Chains A and B, each alone.
Chain A
Amino acid sequence: MVKVGIVGLGTMGRQHAEAYRQMPDVQLCAVYDHHLDRAQAFAQEFNTVVAPDFKTLLQQCEIVDICTPTYRHAEYALPAIEAGKAVVCEKPLARTLQECEQIVEAVRKHNTLFMPAHVLRFFPEYRLAHQMVRAGTLGTVAAVRMRRGGDFPRTKSDWYADFDKSGGIIMDLIIHDIDWVRWTLGEVERLYAKALTFHGLEHLDYTLVTMRLRNGTLAHIEGTWCDPGGFRVSFEICGDAGMLEYDSAQMVALRVARRVEAGQAGGVEVPESPAVQNPYYLELRHFVECYQNGQPPEITVEDGMEAVRLTLAAIESARTGAVVHLK
């Protein structure tokens, strides 16, 4: 049995706990959260215990899974690495580049297993597109357009609205697409970005980022937290031998629309893409198997840092209006 402990029991902590519950060789041995009442209800639901503090959780488990808000990743990741634990940490790796560097250094020093949870790499549609591009199916890729978003994310603490905690839409949301572009097409030479992040708007954020890659490909990434039309992603990859496109709003395997009784709220259409295993399961299963077999995970701690570096560059460009050249 692999013993896993989860820190941070919000939306992501729950997703991860659901995934571990399906693994017969994994035991969720402890959970930890700042909000004690939330932690207790969570522990009851997932048949585990609440660690009295993080130190105790570290003693109880082999894998530490960090699902806290971004600005608190480093404070849990660093002691976990130092304790020699295998660590899977939600994206973004950390809120600042300095924290990322500390984490990278700690992983190297203690030679531990570490994976930043860029779950997009485990979404089958994005994985397939990555594989087709890498196999040369589209020829030379000239342009990539990616879109992600919906309405502004709301949580009890509203930490997404606090730029110092979340890094806004660029760092929290489109880091997914930035990582995918880097994973699939290589390093970025320069980028230019616009964003509403610094326009002083309440619960509205939007960004348009244009990146030029070292291989000449142009990548355009759109992130929205101001679209009340529901969460949606799409991408389009144009090469000299063909084009791939995907739109989650158009390619829908199951559409549910319920008639709403008078006076009731709701009636929202929910498109679904059913699969035997969801991407969070695939991602965490990969990490558990890496732990069991002593293999390095396919997403490195350096990948996590480079993704953060690119989001910080885009934030700088949006803030200053200047082109940012990556070294």
Chain B
Amino acid sequence: MKVKVGIMSFAHLHADSYAHCLLTNPRAEFVGIADHDPQRAKEKAQRYGVQVFDSYESLLASDVQAVIICSENVRHAPLAQMAAAAGKHILCEKPLMTRLEDGQAMLAAARGAGVQLFTAFPCRFSPAFRQLCARVQAGEIGDLLAMRGTNRGVNPGGWFNDPELAGGGAMMDHTVHVADLMRLLTGQEIVEVYAETNNLMYHGNFDDTAMLTLTFEKGIFATLDSSWSRPRTFPTWGDVTLAVYGTRGVIEMDMFAQYLRHYDDRAGRIRQVFWGDNIDALMIDEFLRAVSGEPAPTLATGEDGYKAAAVAIAGYESVQRSEPVRV
């Protein structure tokens, strides 16, 4: 039996990748699309050859078993609560929420309705990261001491630069992936956050440069650069890196350093052409299995999404207060 899935909103650029994953996964039946922008819903439905719904309500009234939410960040909470009330399993784009109370409401709604709520953290599925975790757990670098992470990107523009819709800037957009990887790797919670931001890349009313210092339960510390500091001429979208320091050695991961360097005279630029595994596809596959009642050992839960987003939220509080804050 194929899993029937709908996508709620294509505001986030990752929706196209997930749509592609659904269309190419033999477990999935991509039923259709609803969007608060009806024109976008129509265009995307046409492109993917699926049904267009005239409202979120009508999509949720259909026989889809699960939805993927790819709206603007601040709309995750109302959409997830609607989907939960309709009894649909949910995969929600990151960050799960931009305010703690929204996240709590989402978790409560899913729990109350008995549906599964997951957060879209595909980096968990990276073979490089799995390997990193396995080697750390095998004790290859001894006891963990410190970490240094980055998730930089080019500025995505659009609503991402509108704090009313995004709930923040670069720090809200890019903190959660690596914060989640650090939690997963250490098995420890982040208890304190110090953050510095500025807007010197784009000079807008949003942070484009952000550096966080994170302290874990048992004293491990880390920094995380979540800036939109990649220039327009950067050869790819950005990076996910994590260096892990232990008493007996170091492991450094550059998650997307599996590429060919393409000097493209036709486009007048140099680019990196990625050849590694499609981690979105790996994540969507496990989501489909989870909806079918199979275990989901790697997928990030709603709680995981909540804890990672809480780090970004604490970051903004730290910036306000110019001091480290408890998470």
B159 at the interface (CB under 8 A from A): no
Complex Cα spacing A224 to B244, Å: 12
Segment with Cβ contacts to B, from A35-43, A59-67, A90-98, A209-217: A209-217
B138 at the interface (CB under 8 A from A): no
Cβ of B227 and Cβ of A240 under 8 Å apart? no
B119 at the interface (CB under 8 A from A): no
Q: Mark A195-213, 1 if CB is under 8 A from B, else 0.
A: 0100101001010101010
Given A192-B324, A222-B148, A242-B233, is A210 in contact with B198 using a C-beta cutoff of 8 Å? no
Across the interface, B231 reaches (CB within 8 A) one of A204, A208, A226, A238, namely A238
Cβ of B245 and Cβ of A210 under 8 Å apart? no
Number of interface residues of B (CB under 8 A): 34
A236's nearest neighbour on chain B, judged by CB, is: B229
- The minimal Cβ–Cβ distance linking B238 to chain A, given in whole angstroms, is 12
Given A201-B145, A210-B223, is A226 in contact with B250 using a C-beta cutoff of 8 Å? yes
Across the interface, B324 reaches (CB within 8 A) one of A142, A145, A239, A321, namely A321
Most central of B208, B209, B222, B234 by chain A CB within 10 Å: B209
Complex Cα spacing A250 to B161, Å: 34
A190 at the interface (CB under 8 A from B): yes
B229's nearest neighbour on chain A, judged by CB, is: A238
A263 at the interface (CB under 8 A from B): no
Given A142-B209, A201-B145, A226-B250, is A216 in contact with B198 using a C-beta cutoff of 8 Å? yes
Across the interface, A208 reaches (CB within 8 A) one of B146, B196, B229, B322, namely B146
A321's nearest neighbour on chain B, judged by CB, is: B324
CB interface residues, B 295-312, toward A, < 8 Å: none
- The minimal Cβ–Cβ distance linking B231 to chain A, given in whole angstroms, is 5
- The minimal Cβ–Cβ distance linking B222 to chain A, given in whole angstroms, is 7
Across the interface, A229 reaches (CB within 8 A) one of B194, B227, B250, namely B250
Q: Mark B211-245, 1 if CB is under 8 A from A, else 0.
A: 10101000101110101011101100000000001
A242's nearest neighbour on chain B, judged by CB, is: B231
Complex Cα spacing A226 to B248, Å: 8
CB neighbours (8 Å) of A240 from chain B are: 200-203
CB neighbours (8 Å) of B104 from chain A are: none
Across the interface, B211 reaches (CB within 8 A) one of A143, A224, A323, namely A143
Report how many A-B pairs have Cβ atoms within 8 Å: 103
B214's nearest neighbour on chain A, judged by CB, is: A194
Given A143-B227, A190-B322, A192-B194, is A206 in contact with B202 using a C-beta cutoff of 8 Å? no
Cβ of B194 and Cβ of A220 under 8 Å apart? no
Cβ of A210 and Cβ of B209 under 8 Å apart? no
CB neighbours (8 Å) of B233 from chain A are: 242
Q: Mark B140-167, 1 if CB is under 8 A from A, else 0.
A: 0000011010000000000000000000
Cβ of A210 and Cβ of B145 under 8 Å apart? no
CB interface residues, A 130-151, toward B, < 8 Å: 140-143, 145
Cβ of B200 and Cβ of A141 under 8 Å apart? yes
Across the interface, A228 reaches (CB within 8 A) one of B234, B250, B324, namely B250
Number of interface residues of A (CB under 8 A): 34
B247 at the interface (CB under 8 A from A): yes
Complex Cα spacing A293 to B28, Å: 79
Cβ of B145 and Cβ of A243 under 8 Å apart? no
A227 at the interface (CB under 8 A from B): yes
CB neighbours (8 Å) of B208 from chain A are: 142
CB neighbours (8 Å) of B146 from chain A are: 194, 196, 206, 208
CB neighbours (8 Å) of A239 from chain B are: 200-201
Across the interface, A238 reaches (CB within 8 A) one of B145, B209, B223, namely B209
Across the interface, A243 reaches (CB within 8 A) one of B209, B221, B229, B250, namely B229
Given A141-B200, A194-B221, is A206 in contact with B245 using a C-beta cutoff of 8 Å? yes
- The minimal Cβ–Cβ distance linking A321 to chain B, given in whole angstroms, is 7
Given A192-B194, A218-B211, A222-B148, is A238 in contact with B250 using a C-beta cutoff of 8 Å? no
B114 at the interface (CB under 8 A from A): no
A128 at the interface (CB under 8 A from B): no
Complex Cα spacing A262 to B245, Å: 31
Complex Cα spacing A210 to B195, Å: 9
CB neighbours (8 Å) of A196 from chain B are: 145-146
Cβ of A206 and Cβ of B198 under 8 Å apart? no
Task: Jot down 14 A-B pairs with beta carbons below 8 A, ordered by A.
Answer: A190-B322, A192-B213, A194-B223, A199-B145, A210-B213, A212-B196, A218-B209, A222-B148, A238-B229, A238-B231, A240-B200, A240-B201, A322-B323, A323-B323
Beyond A143-B200, A194-B223, list 18 extra A-B contacts (CB 8 Å).
Answer: A141-B200, A142-B200, A143-B198, A143-B225, A145-B225, A192-B213, A194-B215, A201-B247, A208-B223, A216-B200, A220-B211, A220-B225, A222-B148, A238-B229, A240-B203, A242-B233, A243-B234, A323-B323
